[in-house]
Amino acid sequence: MRKIAVFASGNGSNFENIAKIFQPLILICNNKHAYVIERAKYLNVPYFIQKDENKILTILKENNIILIALAGYMKLLSKNFINSFNGTILNIHPSILPKYPGAHAIEKAYNADEKEFGITIHEVDYGMDTGPIKLQKFFFKEETDTLISITEKIHKLEHLYYSIVIQNYLQII
Ligand code: GRF
């Protein structure tokens, strides 16, 4: 059966959204304190708390994983990992890449007084938030927007579009 692995390190709202749409799937988490683990528990999703890439590769193989969806995974995957995984790796990022790669992208864009905000879903290569872009969505900041409201709008876009891109990949791989 086709299976997805979501990699997450923190809150896990994207994981939860994906898990409600695509089963079976597994969670890989590299942070034992992450709230995403609680989400995996109440959603009955098998989860693995693991930092070691070789061990993660073994878990992926054992679970027949063909698609990895990074969703707030706060670690750059090594070249060896990317070359060894026999499948597709996607990432979601809360900015209009190539602007604001890396952590705190929304705050950085907000503090730079950007007028447009958005999300990018892309295939993963060796770089930090680089790789072929598959989908971008953006919106214009309104006068009443705050960092909080922009963050909420970005998460709504993420939850709406990540599953659509994943669905498209499952049809072609
Ligand atoms: C999302 O904004 C995602 O774009 C970024 O990390 C955040 C994860 O949020 N890569 P959550 O843990 O899914 O709530």
153 lines ligand 1 (CB under 6 A): no
Q: Which residue of the set 93, 122, 155, 159 is catalytic?
A: 93
Q: Which of 14, 96, 124, 147 to mutate to test the pocket of ligand 1 (most atoms within 8 A of CB)?
A: 14
Pairing state between β 65-70 and 133-140: unpaired
Q: How many other C-beta atoms lie within 10 A of the C-beta of residue 132?
A: 8
Task: List pLDDT tens digits, range 6-43.
Answer: 999 999 999 999 999 998 999 999 999 999 999 999 99
Atom of ligand 1 nearest to the CA of 14: 13
Measured in Å, residue 72 CA sits from the centre of ligand 1 at 4
72 lines ligand 1 (CB under 6 A): yes
Residue 1 predicted with pLDDT over 80 = no
Measured in Å, residue 106 CA sits from the centre of ligand 1 at 11
Residue 172 predicted with pLDDT over 90 = no
Q: Which of 68, 157, 158 to mutate to test the pocket of ligand 1 (most atoms within 8 A of CB)?
A: 158
Would you say 27 and 68 are in contact if contact means Cβ atoms under 8 Å apart? no
Which candidate, 166, 22, 12, 23, places its Cα nearest to that of 89? 166
Atom of ligand 1 nearest to the CA of 119: 4
Task: List pLDDT tens digits, range 37-65.
Answer: 999 999 999 999 999 999 999 999 999 99
pLDDT at 173: 78
Residues 6 or more apart whose Cβ sits within 8 Å of residue 148:
none
Active site residue 93: yes
Q: Where are the extended beta strands (E) located within the chain?
A: 3-8, 25-29, 47-49, 65-70, 88-93, 116-123, 133-140
Write the Ramachandran bin of 151: left for phi over 0, alpha for psi from -120 to 50, otherwise beta.
Answer: alpha
Which candidate, 48, 124, 50, 60, places its Cα nearest to that of 92? 124
16 lines ligand 1 (CB under 6 A): no
Mean pLDDT of 113-132: 97
